[in-house]
Chain A
Amino acid sequence: MTAQAKTLTLAIMDPPYETARVITAFRLIEAALRKGINVNVFAYEGAVSLGFTDQQPHANPVKGTSVEEEAHPLPKDWIAALGELGNGRNGHGKLDWVNCGLCVDERGMLNQATGRRGGPPDFFQFIQGSTNVLTIGTR
């Protein structure tokens, strides 16, 4: 009999570039997926900005780097990469990323790199089916 895979749910709230909590969440998600743990993400409020497809890199006039040289990271690319990693193959867990729909609407973040539109009922389903839940609220 195979052991049932563990599932971790994260609820996140922060938009990109403002706080270390976003990168911490990304690191946790990747680590869990690579260990074969399924991960659910409920992106709430500002966190729905993380996967917005219209993000663009820019040059850095302070450092004198071009767009290419600066290679400014975009959270939407990290989320897309996590989505590819979390495909359930090669021993990796599955990623289910849900953006809170009302939060998407009020921010105009309709174009998302990955994930699906959802709401609190999805978060409740995640909670019920998870080994553990981590909420990373904003400050």
Chain B
Amino acid sequence: MAAILNVIERAYQGTLEEQDDQALWLVSALRNAGAEQRVLLRGPATAYAVAGQSVQPLRIGGVSTGQPPAIDEDLKRLVAQGVPVWAVQEDAEERGISPAEALPEVQWVSRAGVAGLFREAERVFAW
């Protein structure tokens, strides 16, 4: 089967308690199941491309999470699994994110170039 393009826009929702991003997790799990996957980060999710982001374990009422999310590491692992990751350049710029502070593994695409990624995929999933 040809590639599935996963468009991820929602960001940092439930990531503290899930300890990862729900959509990226599913992309990785489907990759493990044999699916050819691609990821496009747009809108708020372009922040996932920022290298070195970190968060302290969530602690409420003395109860802590065990594995704080490390979204940038998850993206690196995805790329190592053979899942290319793109981010929309204009969306990142609007949020003050420059390619210089982003993971080198992330590829940049202009808004005008997004349609090309859609055309190249057999299926497009919006998360």
Contacts and interface: CB of A to CB of B under 8 A. Distances in A.
Interface stretch (A49-57, A59-67, A118-126): A118-126
B63 to A, nearest CB: 15
A137 B126 contact: yes
B23 interface: yes
Interface size class of A (residues with CB under 8 A): 10 to 19
A98 interface: no
Nearest to A13: B22
A127 B123 contact: yes
Given A44-B26, A45-B22, A135 B35 contact: no
A119 B10 CA distance: 22
A139 B10 contact: yes
A37 B26 CA distance: 26
Interface size class of B (residues with CB under 8 A): 10 to 19
A25 interface: no
A123 B30 contact: yes
Contact of A127 (B4, B13, B32): B4
Interface in B23-40: 23, 26, 29-30, 32-35
B25 to A, nearest CB: 9
Interface of A: 11, 13, 44-45, 119-121, 123-124, 127-128, 133, 135, 137-139
Interface of B: 1, 4, 10, 13-14, 22-23, 26, 29-30, 32-35, 123, 125-127
Q: Identify the 3 closest CB pairs spanning chains A and B, nearest first.
A: A120-B29, A137-B127, A135-B125
